[in-house]
Amino acid sequence: MPIVLVTIPSAWGPVHIAAGADGVVAAELLGTPEGFRAGMARRRLGDPVPFREAPDGPARAIAAAARDALAATLDGQPADLGAIPVDIADRSAWDRLVLGAVRTIPRGETASYGEVARWIGRPGAARAVGGAVGRNPVGLLVPCHRVIAADGSIGGYGAAAWGGVEAALDLKRALLRLEGVEIP
């Protein structure tokens, strides 16, 4: 089964999405096409087929659904991102546990790293939760931007590759603002 690649524009730059027959395997905001493909290669996900060349089938249908839902979300419209299947089977059991919990945080709400740790039965593992969140391969579909620090501040987000730490935090604030959440 092919991995289907689709890219959509956003106010912050391109969003790259790769889907297989079981779900979205990668989604990235702001990365380059080359960097996105390199990340997929490191994960041994295969060489993706551009959406316009992809055969009809589950991967193409999931890529289209993810494209539409993410475009709506980034335009500030509510979309059921939880209805889009994700396939993170190549991640560790810990990362899958954490990201599954993060995926349950509703639009317009936040949770702290410590809260997520308690939800999964690992109180005191807030830093380890932060590590798993930082390795999220399906950004936005697993809404790691909704995870904040225990004191209600913004916490961390993304990578310096996005223009530095402050640029990444500004993006996190903007994504939350789209959902009606203001974090200073």
pLDDT in tens, the chain (184 residues): 789 999 999 998 899 999 999 999 999 987 888 989 998 999 998 878 999 999 999 999 999 999 999 999 999 898 999 999 999 999 999 999 999 999 999 999 999 999 999 999 999 999 999 999 999 999 899 999 999 999 999 987 765 455 677 778 888 999 999 999 998 7
Residue 55 DSSP class: P
| Residue type, position 180, single letter | G
H/E run at residue 94: helix 93-102
State the Cα angle at 110 between 43 and 176, rounded to 5°.
80
Rounded Cα gap, residues 120 and 131, in angstroms: 15
Rounded Cα gap, residues 150 and 36, in angstroms: 31
The residues that are catalytic are 144
- Is the distance from CB of 154 to CB of 145 less than 8 angstroms? no
Whole-structure pTM value:
0.92
